Structure 1
């Protein structure tokens, strides 16, 4: 923590440490945040939509997110884009520009998404872990050895790891996990693309693809086609979901321009990568592609590389889980401390000596609450271990409220656009269109989860 009075420290106009970021560093940070496990579902999403609608959907989502990101950047400093006060997170921007009930809407949406994502990460990690086990068994004992196992024990193992890591009291002590998670996400994403390209280049697999994706009456029924198409839109929304990097650019008259440039570059690079990953995945496996791209290489000669990628997925998700769960932990702990300030159970800490590591501060409430959270998240994941439907639901939940509705509403108010003007109508029409996409994708994902639970 740097205080405003500390000598030798450069400060910004708000008295806090000076920002030194450039458009290049900011764009690199955004790309790191965006590329994650959602990329593994894009081949399946392309298969549901086909060669034309699939890449087109990726481009449309990219454009919408780019456009609303530009609006958000304009509202980043308030009340004036050049001299306004500094905002540190998305919630600060909402509070500064909108206030009132929309701040609560933002908060609820953010925490719901964080909780849902930790459940989704548990499912994804379990799939990757069981894939490594199945693949190793198949190549050791043969294809008739009955190697396909349940995901449940692996999700329990993942939950136990998170149970331990969740007891780290300070979020900033997890910075190493964030860095490691970013490295792992790039690693498995590039490996997935490389494996798909290799499979296509080898030929001989005779996969079937089509302009319209999976074929009605051959691969799926008409009803299944419609529902899976909508789930695919939710999966694409999940892949593009990210928190805009706010106020990392150094101050100056060109700051807004630099942040727009950083966001544009990041979204362009990510979109190229996503289209490449989705298209190569669909080309490699065709209409029979699995929901998670990395589960399709069990019988390939490069299975060991796929195993490396799946291990990278698990390591990435171990860190990513904590990055998402820690704000939830701290929010509940803060609210409970404010409500029961005299409670010894909530406030008291005890020191436990750890050899060669000093003393570890234990708070009983923190231990109990965080343990309950991880256990419940793991149980829900075990009950709903359905990768694409779960990602579709999370993507739909975050897309409209956080990515479209709030930035649009902020920009209209920030620029004082008349409510019944043509410009306002266009912005609201975009928001309504995205709301419809969100609702139908969410409905399809919920329906898919229900059908999957009944059939399991």
Structure 2
């Protein structure tokens, strides 16, 4: 029998890790004793404070995830956006969006843990954060907006990838046959090819396992952005001067005053979409290894680096594209054939876009995949159809995951084939998601968590920011919808 001293020593070496599961609407909390003498110290070292496998994310992997999400295909529409607004309003609006998104992202990062920033309860998803801080109907509203937006982004990226793949074929055709040849081709086969690749990569189970894909995608984004910037500079030099005007595209031949208004509003949506990543910020933060420093501090630093980096790229690419083409700037700088030569460089840029979008699609879809799979696990906890897995490298194969994720990819691919309007879709997605996910929920959660006094200077400032961004979001959505309606008048489904 152990002595009292031995028993006390053993108790001192015992940790209680809390494993949280969901059962209906109640949390079931099961204590798990981990004793050195029981031989479980190694197991404890592999677990975080919530009993889950220890997170391994760092400042650099978080930055890679953000850059992969932010420097997406939206950068290619910025020259068109600046063309609608002009040299004064275009760069100014871009800087304002960068500041707002950085600031509200720092507020959102504070909401990853409820209570103490280092030891409080973790919120694994954006919806969990809203549930912990706001609750009620706002949780449902957040879920509908967030997941609808993520589905929309998946559709938009499928469209963008097919446009880039088709641009490679057209670029080679123009080089061979001359610019007078229409070089027509359908984008549908390319969407199907992109979907097939996504079915394969979607079998990677979660964010922690796709860090390498995000790093490759982030490198690709710098590659095609750099090529677009270089070609814009070369075209500007070739023109002998800077194109464009202070007020943007002129009213006249082909552009009515109403169209000028709609396009200017859509430009706001394009810029908002180009900076969009708040809807997956909490999910990215949940990959960061435990403090010190706190996950919020690491996430803020990663956000600062990522937003600063992307803003420099956006300003350079957008402004140089407008300087090169003026009012004629295409809605996609590398696939709208403002440039024709060197064709091989355009091919490299478009290959980089496609590779980037493969990774970006997974970054944005992982929260959807995780949400459905958590729900299914709670609903049928003993089902081998859901739980049984076969691990092959980074892939985790199960019948349920293969079936459900493949069905999701097929659905987004079919919808993309129905609506291949890159610029219109980009503007609408950015407009619809900007206010609720980027501004409203971060502001409201921060006020609730920090108990900001009502009608205090901070409270008034945050509410004013939210109201102003709501007006911008509504205006941008209206402009994008008007443009989509115009495009639908002349388009036949599956004819892209």
Tell me the TM-score range normalised by the shorter chain. Answer: 0.7 to 0.9
Give 2:230's aligned residue. Answer: 194
Q: Does residue 1:81 correspond to 2:117, yes or no?
A: yes
What corresponds to 2:141 in structure 1? 105
Aligned with residue 372 of structure 2, among 332, 338, 350 = 332
Residue 401 to residue 299, structure 1, CA distance change in 2 (3 Å) = closer
1:359-370 to 2 correspondences below 5 Å: 363=399, 366-370=401-405
- 1:449 matches 2:481: no
2:159 to 117, 123, 142: 123
Mean CA deviation greater in 296-305 or 126-135? 296-305
Q: 1:375 to 1:86 in 2, by over 3 A?
A: closer
Give how far 1:297 is off. Answer: 4.4
Deviation at 1:349, TM superposition (A): 6.8
Match of 2:67 in 1: 31
Offset of residue 71 of structure 1: 1.9
Residue 230 of structure 1: CA displacement?
A: 0.9
- Shifted more, 441-450 versus 57-66: the winner is 441-450
1:274 equivalent in structure 2: 314
1:231-281 CA distances to partner (integer Å, 9 max, x unpaired)?
Answer: 111111111111335263762478755654443333222212211111011
Quote the RMSD (CA, aligned, Å): 3.4
* CA–CA separation in structure 1 for the residues paired with 2:291 and 2:184: 56
Which of the numbers 412, 434, 440 marks the counterpart of 2:469?
Answer: 434
Tell me if structure 1 keeps the 8 A contact 2:334–2:350: yes
Match status 1:386 vs 2:426 = no
Pick closer, same or farther for the CA change 1:255–1:113 going to 2, 3 Å: closer
Is it true that 1:246 corresponds to 2:285 in the alignment?
Answer: yes
Q: Aligned pair in 2 of structure 1 residues 134, 411: CA closer, same or farther (>3 Å)?
A: same
The answer to whether residue 355 in structure 2 is matched with residue 315 in structure 1 is yes
User: Which range is displaced more, 317-326 or 61-70?
Assistant: 317-326
- Partners of 1:340 and 1:21 in 2: how far apart? 30
Contact 2:114 2:120 in 1 (8 A): yes
SS of corresponding position for 1:448: helix
2:344 aligned with 1:304: yes
The 5 A counterparts of 1:128-277 are 128-166=164-202, 168=203, 170-171=205-206, 174-203=210-239, 208-218=243-253, 220-242=255-277, 243-244=280-281, 245-246=284-285, 248=288, 251-252=291-292, 259-277=299-317
Deviation at residue 367 of structure 1 after TM alignment: 4.6
Relative to structure 1, the CA distance from residue 400 to residue 414 in structure 2 (aligned partners, 3 Å threshold; closer, same or farther) is same
Alignment of 1:409-424 (within 5 A): 409-424=444-459
| Preserved CA contact (<8 Å) 2:68 2:217 | no
Deviation at 1:432, TM superposition (A): 1.4
**Matched residue, 1:396:** 431
TM-score normalised according to structure 1 size: 0.86
Which stretch has the larger CA shift, 232-241 or 367-376? 367-376
CA contact (8 A) 1:43 1:282 kept: yes
Does the aligned pair in 1 maintain the 2:205–2:396 contact within 8 Å?
Answer: no
C-alpha displacement at 1:106, in angstroms? 2.4
Q: Mark the structure with the bigger radius of gyration.
A: 2
2:237 is paired with a residue whose SS is helix
Q: Supply the distance in 2 between the matched residues of 1:446 and 1:343 (Cα, whole angstroms).
A: 44
Aligned CA distance change for structure 1 residues 370 and 32 (closer, same or farther; 3 Å): closer
- Tell me: CA distance 1:371–1:415, structure 2 relative to 1, closer, same or farther (3 Å): closer
Native 8 Å contact 1:417 1:423 kept in 2: yes
Q: Which residue of 2 aligns with 1:94?
A: 130
User: Structure 1 residues 87 and 50, CA, compared in 2 at 3 Å: closer, same or farther?
Assistant: same
TM-score, normalising length from structure 2? 0.79
Structure 1 unaligned spans of 5+: none
Judge conservation of contact 1:89–1:246 (CA < 8 Å) in 2.
Answer: no
Residues 178 and 323 in structure 1, CA contact (< 8 A), matched pair in contact too: yes
The Cα of 1:382 is off from its aligned counterpart by 1.7
What per-residue deviation string (whole Å, max 9, x for no partner) do you get for residues 143-180 of structure 1?
333313232332233233334444x2634655543333
The answer on whether the counterparts of 1:26 and 1:249 sit within 8 Å (CA) in structure 2 is: no
Moved more, 16-25 or 403-412: 16-25
Does residue 407 in structure 1 map to residue 442 in structure 2?
yes
Aligned residues: 447
Gaps of 5+ in 2: 1-31, 35-39, 492-496
Of stretches 292-301 and 383-392 in structure 1, the one that deviates more from structure 2 is 292-301
C-alpha change, 1:256 and 1:311, in structure 2 (3 Å) is: closer
Structure 1 residues 312 and 111, CA, compared in 2 at 3 Å: closer, same or farther?
same
Q: 1:63 to 1:179 in 2, by over 3 A?
A: closer
Deviations 1:20-51 (A, max 9, x none): 87767755653344221111111111111100
Deviates more, 1:293-302 or 1:112-121: 293-302
Q: CA deviation at 1:99?
A: 2.8
**Partner-residue secondary structure (3-state), 1:293:** coil
Q: CA 1:219–1:46 in 2, change beyond 3 Å: closer, same or farther?
A: farther
- CA positional deviation for 1:115: 0.6
Worse overlay, 329-338 or 6-15 = 6-15
